[in-house]
Amino acid sequence: MGRMSMTNRPRTTTADDTPLVSRLLARAFEDDPMIRWFFPDGATRAAGVERYFATLHTRQYARHGVCEHTEAAAAFWVPPESRDKAVPDAETVRDLLDILGDRAPAFRDAVEAAGEHTPREPHWYLAVIGADPAAQGRGHGAALLRSGLARADAAGVPAYLESSKPENLPFYEHFGFRVRGEARLPGGGPTLWAMWREPHRPTDR
């Protein structure tokens, strides 16, 4: 009782995990308002979103972030010292824009709008987290969230994330995040909530 199941114990991702991770995240974000904004065609969405997350994993976050997964969820974090390095290079940007096709301008506008709200002070950034809907409620996302937050707490720095799904806000609030602001993305896009969490001391838990 109380011990973490082997199936949802976080493990560091490698390049070999990219197919699994991208499939998990494509399923996790199938109903996410921002992903639907970027990939409006339901017939091609799953394949496009898999390519999108595979590119982010292999070209960006696996290189300069902290990427973990369980059997049914994945998370990409960026520590404060890697913030500048984790910005996509020109080749990665070209790959992402090719995947997004005619939605590329909406993606660029969203990235710029979100960047205006990014905190300047050092923080751990939760870039991506998602669990396969078939396994939600089994602690996979929570295990990954705790793992990243433990690193932030150990370093004594805050954590930051953005969410476009209002149903997820209470989940993050349970772990100490608070809404810091919200913004409507350009061109009629979804609302983005910025959430901030101060570091916790061991006595805070």
pLDDT at 202 exceeding the cut of 50: yes
Residues paired with residue 129 on neighbouring β-strands, in sequence order: 75
Percent of the chain whose pLDDT exceeds 70 = 94
pLDDT of residue 121: 93
Q: How does pLDDT run across 60-106, given as a tens digit for each residue?
A: 999 889 999 999 999 999 999 998 876 777 888 899 999 999 999 98
**Rounded distance between C-alpha atoms, residue 100 and residue 110, angstroms:** 13
pLDDT at 2 exceeding the cut of 50: no
**Rounded distance between C-alpha atoms, residue 177 and residue 158, angstroms:** 10
11, 16, 17, 22: CA torsion to nearest 10:
160
CB 36 within 8 A of CB 56: no
The better pLDDT of the pair 2, 190 is held by 190
Find the DSSP H helices in the chain.
18-28, 33-38, 45-56, 62-64, 90-100, 104-115, 140-155, 169-174
Using 50, 70 and 90 to split pLDDT, how confident is the model at 116? confident
CB 182 within 8 A of CB 192: yes
Task: Give 14's Cβ-side CA count (13 Å radius).
Answer: 1
pLDDT of residue 7: 67
Q: Which residues of 130-153 are buried (b: 16+ CB within 10 A; e: fewer)?
A: bbbeebeebbbbbbbbebbbeebb
Is the pTM of the predicted complex or chain greater than 0.85? Answer: yes
Lowest mean pLDDT among 11-15, 56-60, 96-100, 111-115: 111-115
Residue 110 corresponds to which tokens in the numbers above? Answer: 């969203």
Give the relative orientation of helices 45-56 and 18-28 as an angle to the nearest 10 degrees.
130
pLDDT of residue 75: 97
**Rounded distance between C-alpha atoms, residue 91 and residue 45, angstroms:** 22
Per-residue pLDDT, averaged over 37-42, amounts to 94
Per-residue pLDDT, averaged over 37-57, amounts to 95
The secondary structure of 89-145 as a DSSP string is -HHHHHHHHHHHGGGHHHHHHHHHHHHTT--SS--EEEEEEEE-GGGTTSSHHHHHH
Tokens 């669990």 sit at which residue?
A: 131
pLDDT of residue 137: 87
- CB under 8 Å to 26, separation ≥6 — which residues? 46, 49, 50, 53
Lowest mean pLDDT among 9-23, 72-86, 105-119: 105-119
pLDDT at 1 exceeding the cut of 50: no
Report the chain's mean pLDDT, rounded to a whole number.
91
User: Which strand (E) or helix (H) includes residue 58?
Assistant: none
pLDDT at 39 exceeding the cut of 90: yes
pLDDT at 57 exceeding the cut of 60: yes
Residue 142: what residue type?
A: A
CATH number of 12-204: 3.40.47.40, 1.50.10.10, 3.40.630.30, 3.20.20.70? 3.40.630.30
